[in-house]
Amino acid sequence: MKFGKEFVAQMVQEWQEAYMDYNYLKKILKEVLHSKQRNTPSPMAAAATSKGSLKRRASLYRAFSGLTNRYRGSPRKNVSEEEVILISAVKEEGGEGRYQTMFMNASGEGGELELMFFKRLDDEFNKVVKFYKKKVKEVMAEADDLSRQMDALIALRIKVENPELEGANIGNLATNGVSLNSASVAHPINDRTRNPEWSHMEVIQEVEMSNETNSEDDKRGSDDENSASCSQGKATHNIEGFRPASLEVLDHVKINVEPETPVSTMKNIIASSKSDLSYSKEELRKAEELMARAFMAFHQKLRLLKSYCFLNQLAFSKIMKKYDKITSQNASKAYLDMVDSSYLGSSEEVTKLMERVEATFVKHFANGNHRKGMNTLRPKAKREKHRTTFSLGFFSGCSFALMIAVIVLIHARDVLNSSGGPKYMENIFPLYSLFGFIVLHMIMYAANIYFWKRYRVNYAFIFGFKQGTELDYREVLLLGSGLAVLTLVGVLSNLDMEMDPRTKSFTAITELIPLGLLTLVLLITFCPFNIIYRSSRFFLIQCALHCLLAPLYKVILPDFFLADQLTSQVQAFRNLEFYVCYYGWGDFKKRSNRCYESKVFESFYFVVAMIPYWIRFLQCLRRFFEERDSMQVYNSVKYLSTIIAVALRTFYDLKRGMTWKILAAATSGFATIISTYWDIVIDWGLLRPNSRNPWLRDKLVIPKKSVYFVAMGLNVLLRLAWMQTVLGFRQVPFLHRTALTAIVACLEIIRRGIWNFFRLENEHLNNVGKFRAFKSVPLPFYYDDDEDKSV
């Protein structure tokens, strides 16, 4: 793979505009090369070419210099030693320094292009250095916050284990022989004696790392505790001004645990204030969980920042070597020496901070087990498995074959036109169409994943998947094809048992096949064992629980994204209701039911259709009260109008009548206009008349602009698919009413699948615009304002 593609592939996508623009600089060098080739006589060019080929052949026999040598190499002997560029650091008005390169041969042949190259190179380098300094400053400030949080956490640990202690400090506890477990840790040096350039995290880890130099990670027992206490005592005497952290820090902090359950949410509403520390084990456990998550997220930031620094240094090295090769000059040595001496090349804050964070995490959150701690901080990348691809191909082939078999069997026996055809479509078809809706939604989601990965939309970060647990599109298709095989086998066996005279007597067994299939799907979904992508199943269950209990949970993107998916599965919810009626109230042994004649069924038929929209309405209200975002009010009005439209359409579906038809058409038309505008303008960020791409937006991930216009048109057309239920287009000569309803439901699922891609694309571009590559993790402790002022 060429370096340009590898460079793009390894970028932090949310920071892509902060990286060196390698492709543009490479484009300038190509123009320099073309300029030199135009002005070079052909005989000389041929000689140069032959000489170059000779060098390439000779390079195969050169001595091997080793894999650990630096990639830059030494300057070529035959290149002139005259200075090509002069680099100087210039101070600007704001105090920010920038580097400027003076090209010495600007008046020579092709000098203007090379001058433009170095000017753009300086701009890119200064941009990279400025961004890197800014991010390092942010992580150092965050490290200081984490250190203060660790002060409170360690004090809370001591207080929970020894509740009778008052005003004691860690040093006194160690002297008195009280076991501290993992809470025995050195704390910040006195503010009057410490170096003002050091952060709290640096001081803590200087002491910790000195204590752990000769210790082993997996040792246990009282001897280790005694030796740790002794080494800690030595460390405290070796550092001037060392002061162990006092438990008095607990007098200035309050618990800052975000409401995560309906009960805690109600308590938070009633109390309307942050609770004080109660020194309970449950409170300590929550604080430790939040701190562990905060350290994991912080370590991820440091790793990405370190990768950013390395990739940019490598890019500058590559582009300068390419310049030397094209111009036959030796400018790279001087420029790369400047890169090495700059803040980008010489700063070691991130590397040292990573080591200290790792040592802290291993000691305090992994019980000293280095391997366990590092596996948590550095999760392994997910590997693609050949058996997944094989299984996908096998189940896909089986599903296609079974689908053809079902179609042939229905056509050969003329099931739909037989005496039992209407009963089959009214009773059995809704039972199996439920699984068809699920499979279609999974296929659309798999397609979304494929295109998100192709156009580098960071969907795993946006959804908040734990690294290495997100499903690939092959795995989603595997699940969908597996469910399709089970469903088609059920349909085929049901048809065969019903039509075959030898098995026609086993009516009860044939009718129980769909119920057995639904039970199997539910058992797999809620299976507690670590099989069939347990982490993804539990993530889905958690999001579904948050949706059902809205607005008692804090609304995050996965929750309202799933709720939006549920609004496109209204017919699936109605089919679930039919399951209850058919097997609970109906006479399924005779393939008959009176569901639609029941007032209870009609009431639930009315309510079930509005549940997904009601969930989204409540989520919008919760977000408005928390975020004070007025757009959430407009969004809630949109869902409220949809609830009214769905209610009136359901009344028309059950009651009929011209009055209900007019009301349903009017409210549905209003709701469709609002929802279509919201989809395209707000969720997709399109229809911007003053953007660089007229009527789209400034940034697009898909090169072909026509795709966006086609998507907008399809969204409008598919939004109008429900009109057939209002305007009376229910009778199609070759389709049963239930089949037509299923087709309309499938069109809505397809529309939602298209919506998914552009919704996440817009979210990704918003993250890119704000350089937002990390999720904010809540910290467990809240410091009083008086304490903040005294620090």
pLDDT tens readout for residues 193-220: 334 443 444 433 433 443 443 334 444 4
76: which residues sit within 8 A by CB, 6+ positions away? Answer: 330
Confidence check: pLDDT of 584 > 90: no
- Residue 572 burial (C-beta neighbours within 10 Å; 0-12, 13-18, 19+): buried
Residue of higher predicted confidence among 11 and 172: 11
With helix as H, strand as E and coil as C, how does 457-504 read?
CCHHHHHCCCCCCCCCHHHHHHHHHHHHHHHHHHHHHHHHHHHCCCCC
How large a percentage of the chain has pLDDT more than 70? 75
**Which sequence spans correspond to the domains of the chain?**
1-41+84-89+99-178+185-378, 386-769
- Structure confidence at residue 685 (pLDDT): 94
Number of C-alpha atoms within 13 angstroms, CB side, residue 108?
A: 9
**Stretch among 164-173, 663-672, 676-685 having the lowest mean pLDDT:** 164-173
Confidence check: pLDDT of 109 > 50: yes
- Average pLDDT on 641-663 reads 84
| Contact assessment for residue 379 and residue 468, using Cβ atoms and an 8 Å cutoff | yes
Confidence check: pLDDT of 239 > 70: no
Q: Mean pLDDT: which of 65-79, 106-120, 481-495, 639-653 is highest?
A: 481-495
- Structure confidence at residue 592 (pLDDT): 82
250: which residues sit within 8 A by CB, 6+ positions away? Answer: 152, 155, 156, 159, 277, 279
Band of pLDDT at residue 155, cut at 50, 70 and 90 = confident
Number of C-alpha atoms within 13 angstroms, CB side, residue 209?
A: 14
pLDDT one-digit tens code per residue, 351-380: 999 999 999 999 989 888 888 889 888 877
pLDDT one-digit tens code per residue, 8-65: 888 988 899 999 999 999 999 998 888 877 776 555 444 544 444 444 444 444 444 4
Confidence check: pLDDT of 512 > 70: yes
- Average pLDDT on 701-711 reads 95
- Structure confidence at residue 594 (pLDDT): 84
- Structure confidence at residue 515 (pLDDT): 94
- Average pLDDT on 476-481 reads 96
- Structure confidence at residue 417 (pLDDT): 78
- Structure confidence at residue 108 (pLDDT): 63
- Structure confidence at residue 643 (pLDDT): 94
- Structure confidence at residue 42 (pLDDT): 54
Alpha helices, H only, 110-221? 111-161, 170-175, 200-211
For the chain, give the mean pLDDT.
79
Token pair of 292 as six digits: 């562990």
Residue of higher predicted confidence among 778 and 488: 488
Residue of higher predicted confidence among 655 and 298: 298
**Stretch among 290-294, 301-305, 349-353, 501-505 having the lowest mean pLDDT:** 501-505
pTM over 0.75: yes
Sign, Cα dihedral of 568, 571, 576, 580: positive
Band of pLDDT at residue 276, cut at 50, 70 and 90 = low
- Structure confidence at residue 259 (pLDDT): 55
Q: Which of 682, 672, 664 is nearest to 719 (CA)?
A: 672
- Structure confidence at residue 205 (pLDDT): 41
Band of pLDDT at residue 227, cut at 50, 70 and 90 = very low
Rg (CA), the chain: 33
- Structure confidence at residue 727 (pLDDT): 58
Alpha-carbon distance of 41 to 56, in angstroms, equals 22
Residue of higher predicted confidence among 598 and 447: 447
| Contact assessment for residue 745 and residue 771, using Cβ atoms and an 8 Å cutoff | no
Q: Which of 487, 489, 492, 469 is nearest to 433 (CA)?
A: 487
- Average pLDDT on 500-520 reads 81
pLDDT one-digit tens code per residue, 241-265: 334 456 777 777 877 765 567 776 6
Q: Is the peptide bond preceding residue 196 cis, with omega within 30 degrees of 0? A: no
Band of pLDDT at residue 162, cut at 50, 70 and 90 = confident
Strand bridging mode 781-783 / 85-91: unpaired
**Stretch among 94-103, 349-358, 525-534 having the lowest mean pLDDT:** 94-103
Confidence check: pLDDT of 746 > 60: yes
- Structure confidence at residue 710 (pLDDT): 96
- Average pLDDT on 444-456 reads 95
- Structure confidence at residue 779 (pLDDT): 84
Number of C-alpha atoms within 13 angstroms, CB side, residue 643?
A: 17
Band of pLDDT at residue 394, cut at 50, 70 and 90 = very high
**Stretch among 487-501, 549-563, 688-702 having the lowest mean pLDDT:** 487-501
- Residue 478 burial (C-beta neighbours within 10 Å; 0-12, 13-18, 19+): buried
Helix (H, G, I), strand (E, B) or coil at 585: coil
Confidence check: pLDDT of 641 > 90: yes
Confidence check: pLDDT of 789 > 50: no
| Contact assessment for residue 567 and residue 749, using Cβ atoms and an 8 Å cutoff | no
